[in-house]
Amino acid sequence: MQRPASPHDWRDTNRAMWDERVPIHASSDHYDLDAFREGKDSLRDFEHAEVGDVTGRSLLHLQCHLGLDTLSWARRGAAQVVGLDFSEPAVETARELATELGLGPDRALFVAADIYDAAEAVPDPSYDIVYTGVGALCWLPDIRRWAEIVAHLLTPGGFLYLAEFHPLTDALDAESGAHIAHDYFSPDPWVDETSGTYTDFDAATVNNRSYQWQHPLGEVVSALAEAGLRIDFLHEHDVTLFQQFGALRQGEDGYYRLPADRPRVPLMYSLKATRPPS
Ligand SMILES: C[S@@+](CC[C@H](N)C(=O)[O-])C[C@H]1O[C@@H](n2cnc3c(N)ncnc32)[C@H](O)[C@@H]1O
């Protein structure tokens, strides 16, 4: 898909928005750092099941935010985890958490860098696993370049594991999730000016402008294939992690679903793609 040029200020604008939200997130119930310090795993159960045993593996987490998921992989036995995020305050929070957990830089290292500079910013040329978690790809204007960077950073035989909100959900109306309200294929950045954040919608914030991009499923899969990765699986999930539509109901397992009498649509997806052994 041909995309219009990205706004010249997209990176600085988005970074300012994220930097301001880091302390709000770090003190929120949503991220619950105290529970994390006491041992709570922040990863979703399907992520454990789909990634499998990470013991002894090296893992690079792109767009790691506060580092909870990164450090959860370390707790699960990854030999070395590296988290990358372009927000300095996010990376600083992640470093402090790693120190509190007794994980030195040899086990858990965090670097502040734009994702498109990742190859130069991370300490090793390649990793056994590249991981990227929910709410990440929408911040990236160029998914083909992202896929090339991921492929470049994978050891031959290593794999990308990605878990994301399904792009179809961005096309549905916010209340019922039953109608197509937005263009699924829109190449234009979505400009948001909303104050607050997903951990506190009422938070008083000043850096509110942000740019996001939709990445249709076919575009993500094709970008990874074109970058030389082999798609091992693409799973679509009928659950999600938040009240994206008024109609969703939270189950006892914590996941949000459409009511049982409604036809289901995919709400999240996960994907594994391997760099073929050379
Ligand atoms: C929604 S958060 C990721 C959430 C994470 N999966 C979690 O649950 O904590 C998105 C992250 O992407 C980072 N980010 C956005 N654009 C980026 C870029 N161009 N390069 C590096 N990091 C970026 C932001 O700083 C933010 O920490």
Ordered domains of the chain (ranges, CATH): 10-274 (3.40.50.150)
Query: By C-alpha distance, which of 109, 23, 12 is closest to 64?
Result: 109
The response to whether residue 63 sits with its C-beta less than 6 Å from ligand 1 reads yes
- What pairing do the DSSP bridges indicate for beta strands 190-192 and 108-112? unpaired
Q: What is the CA(24)–ligand 1 centre distance, in A? A: 15
**What pLDDT sits at residue 166?**
98
Residue among 22, 70, 86 whose CB has most ligand 1 atoms within 8 A, to mutate:
86
Distance 278 CA to ligand 1 centre (A): 31
Cβ(87) – ligand 1 distance below 6 Å: yes
pLDDT in tens, 29-76: 999 999 999 999 999 999 999 999 999 999 999 999 999 999 999 999
Any idea what the Cα angle at residue 19 is, between residues 216 and 12, rounded to 5°? 65
Q: Whose CA is nearest to atom 26 of ligand 1?
A: 65
List, in sequence order, the alpha helices (H) in 87-202: 88-100, 118-121, 143-152, 168-171
Question: If we measure between CA atoms, which residue out of 124, 130, 80 comes closest to residue 106?
Answer: 80
Per-residue model confidence as pLDDT tens digits over 228-275: 999 999 999 999 999 998 999 999 999 999 999 999 999 999 999 999
* Pocket of ligand 1 contains residue 115 by CB under 6 Å: yes
The string over 179-204, giving b where at least 16 C-beta atoms fall within 10 Å of a residue's C-beta and e elsewhere, is: eeeeeeeeeebeeeeeeebeebeeee
5 Cα to the center of ligand 1, angstroms = 21
DSSP classification of residue 64: -
In this prediction, residue 5 carries a pLDDT of 83
The model's pTM is: 0.97
Distance 68 CA to ligand 1 centre (A): 12
Cα 45 to ligand 1 centre (Å): 21
pLDDT in tens, 120-176: 999 999 999 999 999 999 999 999 999 999 999 999 999 999 999 999 999 999 888
pLDDT of the residue at 23: 97
Which of 30, 65, 268 should be mutated for ligand 1, with most atoms under 8 A from CB? Answer: 65
